[in-house]
């Protein structure tokens, strides 16, 4: 890597005839539908910048590239019910840029917001209370008749398949 890592956080929601189709629609709204998602645990490397962006400003790549990310996905297929997803992040007090992401999904804004707050507090406590909240992004959608999905994704980096061990015969 030649410069600081920029982690982009975007959100989307979608509807489809199946929960999987709703997930795909939400990924499209978040700007990441044509990637193979590689889910990471929730550590922000030192020197990183975290930017909230619309889906149109997410990382770009070729169809099928690998996308290293942290994400939350909330689903429901019950008319009148809500699906919510959120990511929150904190930074170490030393100014290094090191940080933590937490991701949650649930049936209400209140639950997801509370879970994000409590998780950040607990993860900081585990590390000596040296991390402080910096930001969050939460999105939700209400099911009318078809399945729905809400997604928030934090993208770290993308890579193609060239040079991957065992990727090509």
Which stretches within the chain are classed as H helix? 19-30, 109-126
* Helix-, strand-, coil-residue percentages of the chain, each rounded to 5: 20, 45, 35
Q: Which residues does the annotation mark as catalytic?
A: 36, 41-42, 103
Residues in contact with 10: Cβ distance below 8 Å, sequence separation at least 6, in sequence order: 30, 31, 32, 52, 53, 54, 55, 57, 58, 137, 152, 153, 155
**b vs e for 70-84, b when ≥16 Cβ sit within 10 Å of the residue's Cβ?**
bbbbbbbeeeeebbb
Alpha-carbon gap, residue 120 to 124, rounded angstroms: 6
């Amino acid at each position: 890597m030649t410069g600081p890592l920029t982690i982009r956080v975007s959100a989307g929601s979608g509807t489809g005839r199946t929960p999987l189709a709703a997930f795909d629609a939400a990924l499209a709204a978040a700007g990441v539908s044509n990637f193979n998602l590689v889910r990471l645990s929730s550590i922000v490397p030192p020197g990183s910048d975290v930017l909230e962006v619309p889906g149109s400003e997410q990382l770009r790549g070729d169809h099928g590239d690998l996308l290293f990310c942290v994400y939350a996905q909330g689903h429901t297929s019950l008319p009148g019910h809500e699906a919510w997803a959120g990511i929150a992040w904190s930074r170490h007090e030393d100014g290094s840029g090191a940080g933590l992401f937490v991701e949650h999904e649930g049936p209400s804004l209140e639950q997801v917001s509370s879970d994000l707050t409590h998780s950040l507090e607990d993860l900081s406590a585990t590390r000596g209370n040296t991390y402080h909240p910096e930001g969050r992004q939460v999105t939700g959608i209400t099911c009318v008749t078809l399945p729905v999905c809400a997604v928030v994704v934090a993208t770290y980096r993308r890579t193609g398949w060239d040079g991957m061990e065992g990727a090509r015969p």
